[in-house]
Structure 1
């Protein structure tokens, strides 16, 4: 299924498809920049782990949606270059997804095994 087909299918159910492409990312500043762009985070996003966790667990800044599917692509290079930070990123994503579980606006995060579309 292509990204556009996936986005269309999700939109029918009121969900938003977000792709976080980490291709070429090898450090935390670049990771945070990609998150800011992909998630369309507000300008005051602090570009640190606590700020990312805060924005993912308080979506009042985002347009309303039934749910959000965050697909992380091309993550292996970053995971290899910054294994500790990658572990923290996974923890932040998991805690945010858990926070929204069984709510009116879920957040699901998946790691794509292939490269970017």
Structure 2
């Protein structure tokens, strides 16, 4: 799943109602205006747990993992490494039992320009988490902000 599809206009609602399959999508403009906040509100109404992961200021692996810990409210046992992030993203028990999980990574394109090695390491972790949840009753979708 290394190539990500663009999310068409208005498709967030279709992800939340199940008519668009869960996955990793490029979301042009997610970081502009209230787009991410609107998606979080839509997700809450659909009983999905949503989180916004701000990445525009991430410069290295450690700041990426710190951003994840804060934005995703990761548990204290989070070990601040890629394996621990994978473990957390395939558990999510602290998020309760919603109908689905929505992760919106704002500043993804900035991250890919400023710290491409971090983005390259994070991408398979996110993709594997989406694949993991695809086999369960609770879907996960990740939206990667594109400018």
The alignment's TM-score, normalised by the length of structure 2, stands at 0.71
CA separation of 1:4 and 1:77: change in aligned 2, threshold 3 A: closer
Query: Alignment length, in residue pairs?
Result: 114
CA distance in 1, matches of 2:143, 2:123: 10
Q: Deviations over 1:45-82 (max 9, x none)?
A: 10100000011011223322111110111123322333
Higher mean displacement: 67-76 or 55-64? 55-64
The alignment's TM-score, normalised by the length of structure 1, stands at 0.87
Whether the aligned pair in 1 keeps the contact of 2:104 and 2:145 (CA below 8 Å) is yes
Q: Which residue of 2 aligns with 1:12?
A: 45
Whether the aligned pair in 2 keeps the contact of 1:27 and 1:78 (CA below 8 Å) is no
Residue pairs, 1:1-117, within 5 angstroms:
2-114=35-147
CA separation of 1:4 and 1:85: change in aligned 2, threshold 3 A: closer
Deviation at 1:36, TM superposition (A): 0.3
Deviation at 1:102, TM superposition (A): 4.6
CA distance in 2, matches of 1:105, 1:16: 10
Structure 2 residues without counterparts, runs of 5 or longer? 1-33
Whether the aligned pair in 1 keeps the contact of 2:126 and 2:142 (CA below 8 Å) is yes
Deviation at 1:94, TM superposition (A): 0.4
CA RMSD for the aligned pairs? 1.6
